[in-house]
Structure 1
């Protein structure tokens, strides 16, 4: 007659082995193959969900799995924290955890442990302790490429919600003050990133489009999220607008095609802009990532100017993956 499995006591979906033992679980029950062991001393009944997770969802899931091991004052940090704050970065999905005094850095397979020199405030996001956005950005400076730093800053300083009524995660002024006072590794690159960042980019690709134009000396010719009107009223808001040269640059993302309502709205908006005399240049991700010079040349011709490559042009162009 097969042995009956001892059921587990009532526990969270992810729990520490010590807590389970104290609650009456047996070590045999904790070896049940239905339980995951993501980290030493941690068990979980949560598996990866079906379908594609966003980078933020991946970071949050990893953070929840390490949660039972975190000590007082420890928090998810560095690029892991930036991802949880919603920054649309292209970085390795490594889990970073930072300890505060008197604890030393955590040591666990699959975790990068760090230490803060002094007590630092933390935020709680979906039950997970996370470094504040500005702190996470400074922590990530030594390893995060310039282009990813700008993507992160653009996201952090962007007002959100309908008509930007929800405040940004941090202000450009506050972030600039923190960066100017930073003396750690990567400080010089981070200061350049702050200078390149702008309030108004609403997606990763909008930031990359602007940086591509900056690489060829064209970005300063445009205002971000420019509102246009005609004699009949409001035409709409556009990614990049040069009013003097009557030129619009729009990044054409997949959502513009997969959503019928968005697609029809875009057609109406762009037709009205053309009727008002504006030249519209629509760029796709392939233009920005794979053919940046050709894309910049199209914009330069519309503006009637030449290309003026930036000294850091190579660092400002997205790399094909």
Structure 2
């Protein structure tokens, strides 16, 4: 004999079923998006790295694509350029936003306006920002050379010289992306108890000592996380060197790894080489990503 059905139990079951269907529907949609736009390209890249297509026929090539990439002089130059860009970007794009956040944290008025002013470049389309800097770098009528002439300094071939091309790219990238990092640092700074600074002032500590002994130790975790994120982001730089210098730059001085991947695929039709190089970059960035996840997990614990 079956138990009697409670009044309203059917309606509750229907509501719970509809609620779960909606939740699982959104979840399945997100999984499909990740599978199609993220996971499938990674799997496809892994397969292409070991394949070669000639005259419309695709065959397994083993490690031939990796040998082709490693024997290409542009491969090592691209890695050197990428490491140089990463190093310069860490000096400017990592240190400058933190210093700007420290300065903004000292203001007691117009904080909202100053934050908007700092974050404004991030809201601009990247292509528009790069083209703006390309105008600034123009050797004839560019703003930067006009400033140098006004100061009675020699004009520079910003994007046409091997000495200044990479630095010019780094300056543009720093201006474009520093707003987000600055706001993150500013939020971390505002979480530091004010009593620590008051105690330091009573002990006669100046601004630099307060930054070194209070600000940096109190924000050590967020600084470490941002450092890893900065490395991961800068090693994938593409838009700035591609639009400012056409990708290669003078004597290949701005050819980064991602730019070389683009050249392999779309200029040389070496899709296997592009996939092999992309796989090398993926393995390297996976190590930094694992360190980022580990550091974040330690913070949660």
Q: TM-score normalized by structure 1? A: 0.22
More strand per residue: 1 or 2?
A: 1
More helix per residue: 1 or 2?
A: 2
Structure showing greater relative contact order (alpha-carbon pairs closer than 8 Å, 6 or more residues apart) = 2
Q: Which has the larger radius of gyration?
A: 2
Q: TM-score normalized by structure 2? A: 0.24
